[in-house]
Amino acid sequence: MTSSWSSPNRPDAGRTSRRGGRAACVAGALLPLLVLTACDHGGDRTLPGAVHGERGGRFEKAALADGSRLVITTQGGVRVVGTDDDSVAVDDRTLARWNGDGSTHTLDLPCDEGDGRAADNCGGMPLVRVPSGVTLTVRARNAGIDVSGVRGELSLSTVNGDVTVQDSGTKGARQHLVTRNGSVRATGLAARGLAAETVDGDVDLLCTTSPDTLDGVTRNGSVRVTLPADAPPYATDASTTNGRSTVDVPAAASGDHRHRLTLRTVNGDTEAHRG
């Protein structure tokens, strides 16, 4: 096993090129990989303010206060875009069901290959527009999750697909990005704590803030962390079995664990740099 620990008494290893890996930046408490499937919430109880689409009387749009929690469930994938609007919206051709209680609301994208209106939800990537400040949870399967412009807390999980994030998150929130048989990639990600995990794929993240805790784990793939240029010193543990570990982030003093960075893989490289 190759392991790289940063400390004031041990110089950081020189930067090496990654072997086909991609960049990754990850923090927060490491979560176990969850295999999550979409839920059918039954019925179509529509909340006040929701608008039906023209086809089948299904959900099309509903107002949602900034900071509310939105849960999206699907047996396929989904693209989520944050907007300046105060509503959650789907295209009229997308079959969706809307449910909610208090400040938490659920948007289910049902999969029924025998229903032409729902067939695109089965392994597809329908587009959902949300208020940019929403707290977002996505549970997908057999396709990817693509999120951009969502400035809240993120909890994204899928199986057999990539998790991709652009210009999202907030420095006061913990972000959780999880997949299996896919890669986790993020650019322009803000977080107080960040955890990214996969089994077969890369963890490749670029942070705009310096998280307190940052964890990235894969088994067959590379892990790369890029922190802001002014990132503080970190207590860093970067390890691999079949690959190289390269860390040029300043090392925290012994016993200083205010900022922690943990990167682990088996077959691939681990890297941590300041941008």
Cβ atoms of 5 and 13 within 8 Å: the answer is no
- pLDDT range class, residue 49, cuts 50, 70, 90: very low
Q: Which residues pair with 240 in a beta bridge?
A: 2
| Per-residue confidence (pLDDT) for residue 45, from 0 to 100 | 41
Please provide the average confidence, as pLDDT, over all residues in the chain: 83
Which residue type does 12 have?
D
Percent of the chain with pLDDT over 70: 79
Cβ atoms of 221 and 234 within 8 Å: the answer is no
**Which two tokens mark 170?**
């907030």
**Of 54, 74, 78, nearest to 130 (Cα)?**
78
| Per-residue confidence (pLDDT) for residue 21, from 0 to 100 | 44
Other C-beta atoms lying within 10 Å of the C-beta of residue 42: 9
| Per-residue model confidence as pLDDT tens digits over 210-262 | 999 999 999 999 999 999 999 999 999 999 999 999 999 999 998 888 999 99
**Of 153, 203, 197, nearest to 178 (Cα)?**
197
pTM (two decimals) = 0.80
Q: Which residues pair with 81 in a beta bridge?
A: 129, 148
CA 112 to CA 185: how far, in whole Å?
30
| Per-residue confidence (pLDDT) for residue 92, from 0 to 100 | 82
Other C-beta atoms lying within 10 Å of the C-beta of residue 106: 18
Does the pLDDT value for residue 189 go beyond 80?
yes
**Which two tokens mark 146?**
């693509």
CA 202 to CA 270: how far, in whole Å?
10
Q: What is the mean pLDDT of residues 85-100?
A: 90
Which residue type does 222 have?
S
pLDDT greater at residue 265 or residue 121: 265
| Per-residue model confidence as pLDDT tens digits over 4-15 | 444 344 434 334
| Per-residue model confidence as pLDDT tens digits over 122-148 | 888 999 999 999 999 999 999 999 999
Does the pLDDT value for residue 41 go beyond 60?
no
Q: In what order do the strands lie in the sheet with 270-274?
A: 51-52, 59-63, 87-90, 127-131, 78-83, 145-148, 163-169, 184-190, 203-207, 223-227, 270-274, 245-247
**Which two tokens mark 231?**
């990132």
pLDDT greater at residue 172 or residue 25: 172
**Which two tokens mark 217?**
């784990």
Beta-carbon contacts of 30 under 8 Å, excluding residues fewer than 6 positions away, are 195, 197, 215, 217, 262
| Per-residue confidence (pLDDT) for residue 52, from 0 to 100 | 52
**Which two tokens mark 247?**
């860390």
CA 138 to CA 36: how far, in whole Å?
10
Sign of the CA dihedral with 113 first, then 118, 119, and 122 last: negative
Which residue stretches of the chain are H helix? none
| Per-residue confidence (pLDDT) for residue 12, from 0 to 100 | 42
Does the pLDDT value for residue 30 go beyond 70?
no
